[in-house]
């Protein structure tokens, strides 16, 4: 099951974060913790269930001043992307996480680490180590407008080019992601290249809610045990999988093995598609 998106990918409100959630602590009804940049209160006694991953916690909204408990630390993020464009901030990613609280937050610690590594692998591949904020081939911009859709391309035929860590593109994706995130991305697609948290949020929207040419979301592939190969299929399987471009698949797998090594988890099975 995919996560229900939050109302917005905007930066958290000015509400102090409660103490950080601990997977080994016991919590009683009413106890409040912070997790992924949001405050949560326990509905009943609970232990070992991460807020947002199940039904034991109520979301109390975004908070500030907390400590990040994302499975990939800022130090590891910097190690993965040493030459990234300054636009791609670690804090931007952390701010976007609250939109999909089940991302890298379900299953064993190894499962959570592998999902985060897989997501960052595709960001690394699609944006060349997070060096590009937008698609560089301007000659292709006009192709990303599907004017058969009833909402058309109000920002202009050339406005829906690839942006962000997975080069998010097409007018129908901007419309759907904007609706899910509470942002008018159809009329202002440039927001994805102006706001790091929005850029990361669009990538998380696709990861958690879209099958693409595959049969499952990338989130479900990693949580359900299908493995990294199925995330390739969901993102670009029509061109790469089943012998379409074995070199590209191999390059993604190589990156995934490097990043899981940095994160400190074994890659798992099902690496190719």
Instruction: Tokens for 258, please give them.
Output: 């490097």
Q: Would you name the residues annotated as active-site residues?
A: 126
Q: How many angstroms separate the CA atoms of 33 and 216, rounded?
A: 32
Which residue is listed with tokens 């998106």?
5
Point out which residues pair with 134 in neighbouring strands. 163
Instruction: Tokens for 5, please give them.
Output: 């998106």
Q: How many C-beta atoms lie closer than 10 Å to residue 141's C-beta? A: 18
Q: How many angstroms separate the CA atoms of 183 and 79, rounded?
A: 31
């Amino acid at each position: 099951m995919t996560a229900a998106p939050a109302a917005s990918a905007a930066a958290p409100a000015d509400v102090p974060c409660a103490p950080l959630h601990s997977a080994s602590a016991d919590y009683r009804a009413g106890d409040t913790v912070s997790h992924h940049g949001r405050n949560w209160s326990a509905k009943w006694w609970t232990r070992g269930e991460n807020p947002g991953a199940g039904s034991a916690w109520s979301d109390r909204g975004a908070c500030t001043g907390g400590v990040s408990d994302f499975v990939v630390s800022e130090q590891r993020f910097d190690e993965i992307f040493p030459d990234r464009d300054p636009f791609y901030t670690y804090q931007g990613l952390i701010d976007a996480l609250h939109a999909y609280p089940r991302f890298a937050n379900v299953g064993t610690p190894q499962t959570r680490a592998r999902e985060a590594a897989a997501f960052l692998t595709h960001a690394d591949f699609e944006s060349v180590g997070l060096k590009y904020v937008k698609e560089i081939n301007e000659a292709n911009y006009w192709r990303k407008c599907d004017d058969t859709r009833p909402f058309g391309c109000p920002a202009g035929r050339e406005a829906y080019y690839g942006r962000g860590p997975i080069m998010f593109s097409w007018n129908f994706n901007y419309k759907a992601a904007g609706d899910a995130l509470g942002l008018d991305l159809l009329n202002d697609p440039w927001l994805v290249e102006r706001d790091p948290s929005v850029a990361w949020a669009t990538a998380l929207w696709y990861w958690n809610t879209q099958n693409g040419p595959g049969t499952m979301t990338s989130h479900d592939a990693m949580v359900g045990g299908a493995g990294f190969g199925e995330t390739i299929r969901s993102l670009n399987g029509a061109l790469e999988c089943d012998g379409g471009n074995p070199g590209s698949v191999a390059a993604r797998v190589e990156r995934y093995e490097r990043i899981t090594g940095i994160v400190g988890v074994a890659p798992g099975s099902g690496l190719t598609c």
